[in-house]
Amino acid sequence: MNWGQDPYEWVGDWSGRRAALTPDRTAIVDETAGSEYTYGELEERANRTARLCADLDVGVDDRVALVSRNRIEAFDLFFATGKLGALLAPLSYRLAPPELAELLDLVRPRLLVIESPYVERVEHALARADAEPIVRELETADPAGGWDVYRDDLPEDGSPVAIADRALNDPHLLLHTGGSTGVPKETTITHGSIYWNSFNTITAWGLRPDDVAPMVFPIFHTGGWNVLTLPFFSMGAEIVIDREVEPERILRQVDRHGATVLVAVPAVLRAMAHHEEWAETDLSSLRFVKSGGGPCREAVIAEWRDRGVEISQGYGLTECGPNNFAMPDEWAPEKVESVGKPVLHTDVRVVDEDGEPLPAGEIGELELSGPHAAPGYWRNPVATEETFGESRAAAVGDPVADGAPACRWVSTGDLARRDDDGFYHIEGRKKNMFISGGENVYPPEIEDVIADHPAVAEVIVIGVPDEQWGTVGKAVVEPTEAATGGAESTDAEVEPPLTLAELEAFMDERLARFKIPKHLDFVDEMPTSGPSKLDRAAIEEAFGEAANGRSSSERASDDSTRGTGPTDDTTGGTRPTENSTRGTGPTENSTRETRPTDDTSGDD
């Protein structure tokens, strides 16, 4: 018997099984709509939604795509697709039409549901895509029009529907992430992955049926489902949803609903602590707060601790979990810089470049394994092999029984170390990707777009520290001769060949706004470390974290950036030259974004 491959009647019937146990318990509070829903009401809505999907020919293994903010219909579709054996694929409304088009062609949804504010954007994506889904508009107070309305198709019958035969190995969610080149990938999340992550979270974090939490992650992100929402549904606990994630709204939700748990990215926690309502908000109901999506600054941790709130850092990724660590009982305060110890049903190791486990204290790549891990990327075997390819059993020479899935290590791409007390510390990125406000940002994708600008000859994008978002992008540009008119682009007396505002305008419809750099610097000649090979390390040294906050003239006078030609005859490389740096900081428009759910469109 293989528990992962055998079908069970309960697999996918989330709302039905929970409603049978706690039908009158509050499940979801919709702050925007001013509505509350019990688990019994969720079951009735799920059955109506399943009938709608079935009427539109959605069946086993079909995909339903959703472009929407956090609203009750997203959970209706999750429960309904579970009953039908279909897959739900939430797509980010922040993505530009070309990016959405790629995902639509990858997912090939039978049904596409679009919230009104994003209809026009998705229409542009559909015009680029080959996919031809059935489309329904999820209307708000300001409907876009042009498509049949989702609510108009909902049947009145909320009685139980037949549950498809599904096993724990079967997929239920497709959650998109990005590769090192920024090419969209959909992570396949099985029923088993979801359940095991819930077990890990409930047992290691100590979740309770009476817990209440504002859900501040967007539903297109693993945080919107697997950090708290689905573990809470397993327990019969209560989540609070809102269209917009704003510090004062979260503070009021914590106070008004007596929230007991809060998980958010560092930027949100910082904004809450700096808000004018911070001091007067009652935080006494919070049992614990967790920061995720990037390192949390010591100052932010101190601000929450000063209010008497237990705060710690978490770690996870779409491909595994995302809840992999927890803080043990009576943990020492100085361990807050760590992400804790592994949860019950997760194996963790730190390996060297050859994949060999490293002892405590040494830094290597973090790898994870367990039944909560995804099986791979949707329709992307090459990327799946790169991230999920190594079988742990094969690595240690153990035989794998016929028909039994190998237990594989997930390569996270993150550098980590284990200290002598067994706590794990995240030390940085193995790749050049950086995290901004909880979102992964991949420099090669951004560089490809910037390089298309007529004023740009070459570009490198790096991450630099930012008080609000943790890390933001900085573009270091070598301008074309035509753009400079022969003058040195870094001469303080010469107008820059490109302004940050111009660059933002150029990129605005081509990339999501969180990917657009917030800083811009120039070099007369891009440094190289060999024939035609750009020296990213030299750019990091001259313009990265160590240089951040210094003026262009200060950086230009730094001996480490001086030179007039190759600094190493054996490599033929060049370094940034004297007076070769001139920068521009963020413009007013570059800081107008609010994350995680940053759209300000109206709602019902």
pLDDT > 90 fraction of the chain, expressed in percent and rounded = 69
pLDDT in the model for residue 394: 37
pLDDT in the model for residue 112: 98
pLDDT in the model for residue 578: 34
Strand partners, 368: 348, 410
Asked whether residue 426 falls in the same domain as residue 441, the answer is: no
Asked whether residue 418 falls in the same domain as residue 458, the answer is: no
Q: Residue 558 in 3-state DSSP?
A: coil
Q: Which CA distances in Å does 342 have to 34, 272, 331, 336, 339?
A: 39, 29, 14, 15, 9
Pairing of strands 456-466, 528-530: unpaired
Is 339 a domain residue? no
pLDDT in the model for residue 447: 86
Q: Is 397 left (phi over 0), alpha (psi -120 to 50) or beta?
A: left
Compute the half-sphere exposure of residue 321: CA atoms within 13 Å on the CB side of its CA.
30
Asked whether residue 426 falls in the same domain as residue 474, the answer is: no
Asked whether residue 387 falls in the same domain as residue 405, the answer is: yes
Higher pLDDT: 447 or 273? It is 273
The count of residues in the chain is 604
DSSP H helices in 146-223: 191-205, 222
- The answer to whether residue 279 scores a pLDDT higher than 50 is yes
How many C-beta atoms lie closer than 10 Å to residue 301's C-beta? 22
- The answer to whether residue 174 scores a pLDDT higher than 90 is yes
CATH at 505: 3.30.300.30
Asked whether residue 373 falls in the same domain as residue 455, the answer is: no
How many C-beta atoms lie closer than 10 Å to residue 194's C-beta? 24
Asked whether residue 55 falls in the same domain as residue 119, the answer is: yes
Note down the domain range covering 94.
13-190
Asked whether residue 377 falls in the same domain as residue 475, the answer is: no
Q: Could you tell me how far CA 465 lies from the centroid of its own chain?
A: 18
Asked whether residue 417 falls in the same domain as residue 462, the answer is: no
d(CA 598, CA 436): 14
How many C-beta atoms lie closer than 10 Å to residue 185's C-beta? 24
Is 92 a domain residue? yes
DSSP letter (8 states) at residue 209: T
User: Poorest-confidence range of 192-196, 381-385, 393-397, 403-407?
Assistant: 393-397
d(CA 47, CA 242): 24
User: Poorest-confidence range of 278-292, 391-405, 478-492, 571-585?
Assistant: 391-405
**8 Å CB contact between 374 and 189:** yes
Amino acid in position 131 = A
Please classify residue 145 by burial: count the beta carbons closer than 10 Å to its beta carbon, then call 0-12 exposed, 13-18 middle and 19+ buried.
Answer: exposed
Confidence of residue 526 (pLDDT cuts 50, 70, 90): confident
Is 577 a domain residue? yes
CA-nearest of 207, 229, 211 to 220 is 229
**8 Å CB contact between 225 and 252:** no
Strands (E), 480-551: 519-522, 528-530, 533-534
Asked whether residue 411 falls in the same domain as residue 465, the answer is: no
Is 333 a domain residue? no
Mean pLDDT, the chain, rounded, equals 86
Q: What is the mean pLDDT of residues 30-56?
A: 98
Last residue of a domain, one of 169, 190, 211: 190
CATH at 409: 2.30.38.10
Instruction: Provide the number of structural domains found in the chain.
Output: 3
CA-nearest of 187, 188, 191, 189 to 166 is 191
Q: Which CA distances in Å does 265 have to 44, 270, 292, 596, 603?
A: 33, 9, 5, 8, 24
CATH at 84: 3.40.50.12780
CA-nearest of 167, 204, 225, 64 to 375 is 167
Confidence of residue 491 (pLDDT cuts 50, 70, 90): low
- The answer to whether residue 587 scores a pLDDT higher than 90 is no
Asked whether residue 120 falls in the same domain as residue 148, the answer is: yes
Confidence of residue 474 (pLDDT cuts 50, 70, 90): very high
Last residue of a domain, one of 190, 225, 240: 190
Q: 5-25: buried (b, 16+ CB within 10 Å) or exposed (e) per residue?
A: eebeeebbbbbbbbbeebbeb
- The interaxial angle of helices 72-84 and 39-55, nearest 10 deg, is 60
- The answer to whether residue 199 scores a pLDDT higher than 60 is yes
**8 Å CB contact between 203 and 300:** no
Is 279 a domain residue? no
**Structure token pair of residue 131:** 């996919």
Confidence of residue 490 (pLDDT cuts 50, 70, 90): low
Is 336 a domain residue? no
pLDDT in the model for residue 494: 64
**Structure token pair of residue 201:** 């979270």
**8 Å CB contact between 217 and 268:** no
d(CA 547, CA 224): 36
Last residue of a domain, one of 399, 431, 463: 431
Q: Which CA distances in Å does 268 have to 217, 286, 357?
A: 10, 16, 35
Asked whether residue 64 falls in the same domain as residue 76, the answer is: yes
Asked whether residue 414 falls in the same domain as residue 492, the answer is: no
Rg (CA), the chain: 25
- The answer to whether residue 561 scores a pLDDT higher than 60 is no
Is 581 a domain residue? yes
Is 503 a domain residue? yes
Q: What is the mean pLDDT of residues 553-571?
A: 35
